[in-house]
Structure 1
Amino acid sequence: MEEEFIFLKPATLRPANVGDDVHAELLGHSPVSRFISHEFLASQIERPTPVFDRFEQASADLLAFRSRLARAAVNRGVLAAGVGAPFQTEGWPEVTDVERYHTVETEFRGLVPDHLINGLHVHVGIPNRDAGVQALNRVRVWLPTLLALAVNSPFWRGTDTGFSSWRSVHMRRWSTIGCPPVFTDAADYDRRIRQLVGVGGTYDLCTVWWNARLAEDHPTVEIRVCDAQLDAPPALLLAALTRAVVTTALRDGEADVAPIDIAPELLDAGLWHAAREGMESTLLNPVSGTLESASAVTHALLRYAADAIDEVGNRERILGLLARVRRLGTGAERQRAAMRNGGRPALAALLTQALTAHD
């Protein structure tokens, strides 16, 4: 898992450029912060986790790191937030002083001020790139469903956008984004992504930013559709569901089970729809190709991945975490409720308390 966090000033909820300081404090000082890294902006930090094969490992690790991160933020008079986008912004953000990030700034120009976005990326191991491509061909149709569960960015520049994942709307303006196309095999995938390099700001293979892709540095499928999460439980839910969906897709690819056939324009519209509605209304069911209730589409995903969920003993955990989402709401719903009930101070309190929440 890769979690991106942003540091905010408590009174204004504007970005605070303390990423370098926190990185220097946390890097390598304990097993849970061994892999901490810089992110694009000086107000951000990214934390790739170790590889997990059990839910309990992931839970303990995420909570331990978030506790350390919260303390580091408090020591600097700021708060660390797991949000897809900050409540408030101002001017041109400070880019982290790394050559790669300055290249992104040069290539993407006027998009940079709106790139104050944070995601949760989940990697699932694959035996080889051919198997990974076959998994991508089958996972792509479930990306809108995963996004709906992950929505956590309703505000932009102090205003409710009417979308539950405004981060997703920002991402649509980059040159390679959305659900990946269908590929024949790994050779087809590799040929086509190499053709993208040099076109539209895609200056290397790592800037092919589809919501699902093959990782170039690891033997994994990487699912990148999710907003960063307020607290650890929904991040664990999304990781467990992603693992199950990718595992099922790998098996279907090996057994030559045909991918769900859905028109690319319908899938893309379904992704936009999920960014707006979250879990509060309807979603595109890729099986039927029609809009259905969010709960019905979630159950369709659970049916698709049922065997993979059950064999690792995650069914009760997943059902319990889904019930928690129904009870508390998605991150977007919780942020909106905080604003309604107490304005900016209540939202700041939610962001602070949620970072280390575990139930």
Structure 2
Amino acid sequence: MLSFGIEEEFVLLDAARLRPVNDAPECRDGLSKLGFGAALVHQEFFQSQLEFASPVYTELSAAAEGLLEFRWALKNVAATQHVVAAGVGTPYDVGPMPVLTPGERYEQVAANVRALAWEHQINGLHVHVGVPGRAAGVVALNGVRRWLPVLLALSANSPLWGGHDTGYASWRAIHSRRWTTAGCPPPFTDDRDYDRRIRALSGIGATSDPGTIAWYARLSERQPTLEFRVADAQLDSGVTVLLAALCRALVATALHSGTSRNQPAPELLDAALWHAARDGLSRSLVHPVTGLLVPASDAVQALLEETRHQLLASGDLAEVETLLRDTTTRGSGAERQRQALATGGLPGLVLLLESELTRTPAGLHRSDQKFRSRDAHA
């Protein structure tokens, strides 16, 4: 069974205006006292952001409990700072120039992207899936390309920016298109081709090193993993677990089937990603196999059918079906944010962000009381 790891980014917000606040250093200190040290909690581009880098998992249940435990700790630490910790792709509003996290790397990135830097107040979910070597990683990368727009639609959770509804389900995805490399990776003949083309990009625009390649899926340079970077940060951990399970199953399916000769045209995938960013699950999506516009539910069903065999093999099918049903019934993160704002204004949106952060995933039957009590007595 393939292993996987999860990186969730969170933003800290002023509860009155839902603007980013620069309290990440204080929150990281508080989390460290609760046992979430530097190996698990990373700094991010701005001091209003932080990231949880999970341990390596093989079981979805362990991932669900680990994510929920961290989220309870983060919620309680944020409360001591009188801020809201939110899992959103973009904050509701942005204020003056944000404070960059000190460090040579972030300073170099900011210098390279120039005026884009201050607007890079976006938060993502990254899923790493273990692969048995770089050559196998390229086979898997070629196999998962066509499914990235569906994953984006499932994860869409950034409809708000600058205090307004953007009309997009994932405004974060639109932001991301402005970087030197963005969107869907091209197909590669093998791992040598991949490495050669990565080297050719070095130094061009904002691509200072392989870590600044902004494709929605790529091979990790530090770990033997294929990294999915397509998803927005998530309101609740249930969708995170769902996406992790689907990403793992897609990699396993691609490794089992090998690279298809019928690779989708890059312009079609690029347009499909833009379309998914605009509409999410609310209308149509490009079918990953036929290339035709279909109801979003049909594209999601195609993803489930593509991965069904591997989900059965890993024992994840029933849990994935439960999580997927919960997600489609309740609506995407983008839809829930819009509804909360429309019915309750900013207080309603604050309530949504706080309640969803620690919502127990559908199908996880163990009580979250242990997470509440551990944090309360730390």
Same fold (TM over 0.5): yes
User: C-alpha distance in 2, partners of 1:195/1:28?
Assistant: 44
Q: 1:175 aligns with which of 167, 175, 180?
A: 180
1:124 alignment partner, SS class: strand
Matches within 5 A, 1:43-82: 43-82=48-87
* Residue number among 131, 137, 143 corresponding to 1:132 in the alignment: 137
**Does 1:14 find its partner at 2:19?**
yes
Mapping for residues 148-297 of structure 1, pairs under 5 Å: 148-253=153-258, 258-297=260-299
Total equivalences in the alignment: 356
Identity %: 49
Closer, same or farther: CA 273–66 of 1 in aligned 2, 3 Å: same
User: C-alpha offsets along residues 160-185 of structure 1, whole Å, 9 cap, x if unaligned?
Assistant: 00000000000000011100001111
- For residue 145 of structure 1, the aligned residue among 142, 150, 160 is 150
2:3 corresponding residue in structure 1: none
Cα distance in 2 for residues equivalent to 1:267 and 1:31? 39
TM-score, normalisation: structure 2: 0.92
| 1:157-212 Cα shifts (integer Å, max 9, x gaps) | 00100000000000000011100001111111011111111101111110011000
Asked if 1 retains the 8 angstrom alpha-carbon contact of 2:31 and 2:37, the reply is no
Deviation at 1:28, TM superposition (A): 7.0
**Mapped contact 1:33–1:65 kept (Cα < 8 A):** no
Q: Judging changes above 3 Å, is the alpha-carbon distance between structure 1 residues 199 and 328 closer, same or farther for their aligned structure 2 residues?
A: same
RMSD between aligned residues: 1.2
1:356 match:
358
Please list the CA deviations of residues 213-241 of structure 1 after superposition, one character each: whole Å capped at 9, or x if unmatched: 00000000000000000011011111111
Does the CA-based 8 Å contact 1:32-1:65 persist in structure 2?
Answer: no
Tell me how far 1:156 sits from its aligned partner. Answer: 0.6
The answer to which of 161-170 and 293-302 deviates more is 293-302
Q: Which runs of 4+ in 1 moved over 3 A?
A: 31-34
SS of the equivalent of 2:128 reads strand
TM-score (norm 1): 0.97
Q: How far apart, CA to CA, are the structure 2 residues paired with 1:297 and 1:139?
A: 14
- 1:22, CA displacement in angstroms? 1.2
Change (3 A) 1:236 1:260: farther
Q: Secondary structure at the match of 1:305?
A: helix
1:62-112 per-residue CA deviation (whole Å, 9 max, x = no partner) reads 000000000110000001000000000022211001211111111111101
1:336 and 2:338 are equivalent in the alignment: yes
Which residue type is aligned with residue 90 of structure 1?
G
Task: Write the letter of the residue equivalent to 1:130.
Answer: A
Give the letter for the 2:26 counterpart: D
Q: Is the 8 A contact 1:152 1:331 kept in 2?
A: yes
- How far apart in 2 are the matches of 1:111 and 1:99? 18
Aligned equivalent of 2:312: 310
8 A Cα contact 1:27 1:34, kept in partner: no
